[in-house]
Chains A and B, each alone.
Chain A
């Protein structure tokens, strides 16, 4: 069963008339993880923000975005607001911008979770602290009293991930969620995502340049270039038998780095 169907999504810059995302269609199946990989600037973030209807009004979007039976693109602004967070949770590419710089991060958690679940402060704090620990954020009670600029890049990313884990959305859209995480925290985060899918059947869209992470977590992969999907397939097949030239170039670029690394660490 498809939980999300994006049908002929088109995004146009009304200032320049330029089409940025060009008739993109794809579906996300219940309980699966779909990775979007591709060229920098190919429209991955705009596509995901279009699903959430978070793009600026200068970018005009058309097409159908079916979440279960609802066309998100046809909802009123108010109806759409209720979709964000709990039914569909998004982890933004730029961690800093997700938080209000003038409040400690705990305020943001209490507002968001209070709005969606109506929980009390003590329930929220307890749930958040447990989620933070699960992504290797130690001393969570103290961290909730920090301002965003007092946290490192990777700590901010994990804060957003922890919030998403507590929100337990039906669909998680994660835009480069692990760019600042060391290998070990990254593994912990991936394990939590996998756990959430297993226990709640959540589905996920995972945008990443990290081919190792994609291979580890995704069931299916879309490759984007210049506003279009140029290749799609199951993860294993796409990595072993890429069809499109660009996909091959991506894999061989990664091999440039990993072959060198392998030589360094393997005994001769």
Chain B
């Protein structure tokens, strides 16, 4: 179980008035069960990626706590192997000096299995995200946007963590590959009970994937709704978002 409790975060503003700071998250609380897919949908710049970084323990909240099974995520041993991510800025999240194979192998290190096992696992993962084994030797700058994003997805699921933060993780994929990846995630969810924090602007993809959705705006939760009751959303903002969705 992942608990986010009354989390606040401010950033210092650069520039002349360096002393002033801007609050990005205002007392955010929610939880995500093992094996649940929880969507976070909301305005651009509202603090979704910031929230994702806090959940990963890369940044610390100013106030509040983030707990994984009751233990603070800030402690490295609590989060090791338990939580991974596909970052929104996927191109710069792969080490530029790593080949695709090295990038995907990295989270497998130290799991006690042989190099040959890892090699087979890399091929299997590449295939699952729709890339041929020929990509093993490529460097990140030789990949298209969607190929790089899929390498990040393969890396994030490689060691079957308990939770994955997916920050606009399918945004650069063609719809056919999007559906393939969504099905892969659903399969991993049912086999290994992985939980997802699924941050996206694509409400239709979120509705397909998520059990619940959080509507987020200006650093706050506007509304939380079970996906199968989506049509009953109450807030004006959520209703506007739904109304503006182009359905084809």
Contacts and interface: CB of A to CB of B under 8 A. Distances in A.
A39 B178 CA distance: 11
Contact of B45 (A97, A154, A239, A261): A154
Nearest to A145: B15
A230 interface: no
Interface string A170-207: 00000010011111111100000000000000000000
A94 interface: yes
A258 B231 contact: no
B179 A257 contact: yes
Given A104-B14, A181-B201, A250 B168 contact: no
**Which 8 pairs across A and B sit closest by C-beta, in order of nearness?**
A40-B146, A154-B44, A212-B246, A145-B15, A179-B171, A253-B175, A261-B204, A41-B144
Contacts of A94: 89, 91, 145
A215 B178 CA distance: 19
Interface residues of B, number: 52
A45 B208 contact: no
8 contacts: A37-B174, A39-B174, A40-B146, A40-B177, A93-B172, A257-B208, A261-B247, A264-B230
Interface in B227-248: 227-228, 230-231, 240-242, 244-248
Contacts of B130: 40
B205 interface: yes
A64 to B, nearest CB: 24
A211 interface: yes
Given A40-B144, A96-B92, A213-B246, A250 B176 contact: yes
Interface in B68-89: 88-89
A211 B91 contact: no
- Which of A38, A180, A215, A216 lies at the interface centre, i.e. has the most chain B CB atoms within 10 A of its CB? A180
Contact of B175 (A56, A215, A254, A267): A254
A142 interface: yes
B14 A150 contact: yes
Nearest to A147: B14
Nearest to A187: B244
Contacts of A256: 179, 208
B98 interface: no
A181 B147 CA distance: 21
Given A93-B145, A182-B241, A258 B44 contact: no
Contacts of A146: 14-15
A183 B241 contact: yes
A152 B44 contact: yes
Given A209-B175, A211-B248, A212-B248, A258 B204 contact: yes
B153 to A, nearest CB: 12
A45 B145 contact: yes
Nearest to A146: B14
Nearest to A93: B145
Given A153-B89, A176-B145, A183 B201 contact: yes
A144 B175 CA distance: 35
B127 to A, nearest CB: 15
Interface of B: 11, 13-16, 41-45, 48-49, 88-89, 91-92, 130, 141, 143-147, 150, 168, 171-179, 201, 203-205, 207-208, 227-228, 230-231, 240-242, 244-248
Given A45-B145, A150-B11, A153-B88, A264 B231 contact: yes
A256 B247 CA distance: 11
Interface residues of A, number: 57
A260 interface: yes
Nearest to B20: A142
A153 B168 contact: yes
A158 interface: yes
Contact of A258 (B15, B146, B248): B248
Given A93-B145, A181-B201, A38 B14 contact: no
Nearest to A37: B174
Contact of B231 (A154, A185, A254, A267): A267
A262 interface: yes
A155 to B, nearest CB: 5
Given A40-B130, A180-B201, A212-B247, 11 more contacts: A46-B144, A94-B145, A152-B49, A158-B44, A176-B172, A179-B168, A179-B172, A181-B44, A181-B201, A183-B244, A264-B227
B9 to A, nearest CB: 13
Contact of A180 (B88, B208, B231): B88
A82 interface: no
- Which of A38, A46, A185 lies at the interface centre, i.e. has the most chain B CB atoms within 10 A of its CB? A185
Contact of A40 (B141, B174, B230, B247): B174
A183 B205 CA distance: 13
